[in-house]
Amino acid sequence: MADEEFDLLTIGAGSGGVAASRRAASHGARVGICELDRVGGTCVLRGCVPKKLLVYASHMRAEFEDARGYGWDLGERTLDWGRLIEAKDAELDRLNGIYLRMLDGSGVQVISGRGVIVDPHTVEVEGKRYRTKRILVATGGWPFVPDVPGAELGITSNEALSLKEVPRRVVIVGGGYIAVEFAGIFAGAGAEVTLVVRAYDVLRSFDDDVHAALSEALRARGVKIVTHANIESVKQHDDGLTMRCRGGDELRADVLMWATGRRPNTRGIGLKDAGVKLDPSGAIEVDQWSRTSVHGIFAVGDATTRLALTPVAIADGRALAETLFNDNPTSVDHESVPTAVFSQPQVGTVGLTEKEARAKHEHVVIYRSHFRPMKNILAGRDERTMMKLVVDRDSDRVLGVHMVGPDAAEIIQGFAVALKCGATKAQFDATVGIHPSSAEEFVTMSTPAGS
C-alpha cells in the first residue's frame, strides 16, 4: 500500500461531498468517501426531497377545494398518510441506489462508518485508518433542540418525515423555513397547527413584505401563529403534551415539533484536535477556496459558515475539485443566491431585502404589487400574491426580487439569472411579459410604491 491511499478522502456523503468526490475522480484522483448513514445526506434523505413530496401531497387539499369553482365535483376525499409515507420511503430508497451507482461508476470508494480525523493526512473509520493527501469535511447539519425540561418529548424535522399518522394537533416551535413548510404540510393533511415564534413574525430574516404576506396567508389557511413566545417546559399527559410558555400560557398538542434551527454536524470527528478553526456555533471557517485553517483539510456545505443550501454545497464541492485536481482554480460567487421556501403559498427570493438595500445604497426605489392570481378568482380563494422589486435609483440596477405566491420558486429562478447579469429596471420594463401569467407582473410594475 502506498503512503497515501487516497488523493482525497471525503467525510460525509451528502450533496456537497458526493459532488466534490465525483468531480475529483473524473479528473483522475483516487477518492474515498465515508458515510455513517445512507448516501444522499440531508437533502435527499431528511430534507429537500422528502419534504417537498409531502408538500405536494398536502397541497392537494387546496387543489380539491378550488376544483369546485371550476365545475368539478370530486366526492369524498381522504388522505392515506401511511401510503404516502411508504411511497416517499420507496423514492428515497431509489435515490440512495442512484447515488451509490453514481459513486461506483465514478470510481469513488464508499467506506461505511463515521470518519474521524486523526491528523491532516489520516482518517479513521470504524477502527481502520486511511492515509490521504487531502481531507474534505462535508458532514452537513443537524436539527437543534433547545435545552428545556421535557424537550425530548418533541420531535424534529427528521422524525416528522416518518410519522405513522397525521396528528390531530401539532405545535411547531420556530419561525424559519422548516417551521413554515411543515406548518403547511400538517395543515394541508388536516391537523390543527400552531406556530410558536420567538420573534415578531415568521421568516424574519426575509424581506418585511415577504414575511407579512406569508403570515397573512398562513393564518387564512387555518394556521395559528403565536408570536413573542418561548416554550419553557414540556410535559406528557394522558391526552397529549402540554407546553408552558414564558408568562404562564399553556399550549396543548398531540405532537410537538422543534423547528428551532440547525447546527453544523461537526462534533466528534476530530476537528478541534486537528486544529481546525470553528466559529461559536461549531461551523468550520473556510476561505473562498474552501480551505480551513489547517493545510490539507477542506470543507464545504452546511458544516461551514457558508449559506446552508444544497446547490451552494454542490457548487463549492465541484469548484474545490476543479481547483485541486484539474489545475483550474475556481471559486463560487455567493452573492445573489436565489432561494425558495416551500411553504403554502411558496416564497421565492433573490438579492437584497429592502432593509439591506437601504443600508448599502443611498437612493432605493421599491415597486410592489398585491393581486389575486387568476386561478383564485373562479376558485373563490381570497389569497393574494405579493411581488416586489428593490431598485437602486442611481444605477437603475435591480437589487432584489421577492415573491410570495404559487410557483414562486419556478418564477424566481429565471429572475435570478437577470440579477446575476446586473439587469436594470429599464431592462425589466423593456421585456415583454407572458400573458396571462403571474410572472409578467415583474416586468409590468411601473409605479414606485408610495408614489
End-to-end alpha carbon distance in the chain:
74
Residues of the chain with pLDDT under 50: 1-2
How many angstroms separate the CA atoms of 90 and 268, rounded?
31
Active site residue 435: yes
**Cβ(101)–Cβ(59) under 8 Å?**
no
Contact 347, 413 (CB under 8 A): no
What is residue 4's predicted lDDT score, i.e. its pLDDT?
Answer: 66
pLDDT for 2 = 43
Cis peptide before 436 (omega within 30 of 0): yes
pLDDT at 38: 92
Strand partners, 35: 112
Q: Which three cell numbers stand for residue 217?
A: 396567508
> CB neighbours of 422 closer than 8 A, spacing ≥ 6?
397
Model's pTM, two decimal places?
A: 0.95
The pLDDT score that the predictor gives to residue 75 is 87
Helix (H, G, I), strand (E, B) or coil at 433: coil
Q: How many CB atoms lie within 10 A of CB 449?
A: 14
Please check whether residue 300 is in contact with residue 16, taking contact to mean a CB–CB distance below 8 angstroms.
yes
User: Can you give the pLDDT at residue 247?
Assistant: 80
Q: Where are the domains of the chain?
A: 6-143+263-325, 151-260, 339-443
CATH fold match for the domains 6-143+263-325 and 151-260:
yes
CA gap 193, 224 in Å, rounded: 6
Task: Give the pairing of strands 192-196 and 169-173.
Answer: parallel
Residue 221: φ, ψ to 5°: -90, 10
**CB-based contacts of 259: which residues, under 8 Å, 6+ apart?**
143, 156, 157, 172, 173, 174, 176, 178, 179, 182
The number of CA neighbours under 13 Å toward the Cβ of 193 is 27
The closest alpha carbon to 170, from 230, 256, 236, belongs to 256
Among residues 107, 135, 110, the alpha carbon closest in space to that of 25 is found at 107
In sequence order, what are the residues at sequence separation of 6 or more whose Cβ sits closer than 8 angstroms to the Cβ of residue 443? 428, 429, 431, 432, 433
Of 1.10.260.40, 1.10.10.10, 3.30.70.100, 3.50.50.60, the CATH number of 151-260 is 3.50.50.60
Which pLDDT score is estimated for 451?
A: 57
- What would the DSSP string read from start to end of 225-247? EE-S--EEEEEEETTEEEEEETT
- Tell whether the torsion through CA atoms of 195, 197, 201 and 207 is positive or negative: negative
Residue with cell 369553482: 69
DSSP state of 43: I
CA 216 to centroid of chain Cα atoms? 22
Distance of CA 380 to the CA centre of its chain: 32
Instruction: Tally DSSP H helices, then E strands, for the chain.
Output: 13, 21
Query: What class has domain 6-143+263-325?
Result: alpha beta
Which one, of 120, 131, 247, 263, lies nearest residue 196 by Cα? 247
User: What pLDDT is attached to residue 184?
Assistant: 97
Determine which one of 211, 363, 402, 435 is catalytic. 435
The cell for 306 is 457558508
> In terms of CATH, what superfamily is 339-443?
FAD/NAD-linked reductase, C-terminal dimerisation domain (3.30.390.30)
Task: Give the torsion through C-alpha atoms of 35, 37, 38, 43, to 10 deg.
Answer: -90
Q: Angle at CA 170, nearest 5°, toward 169 and 175?
A: 150
> Residue 325 — φ and ψ, nearest 5°?
-125, 0
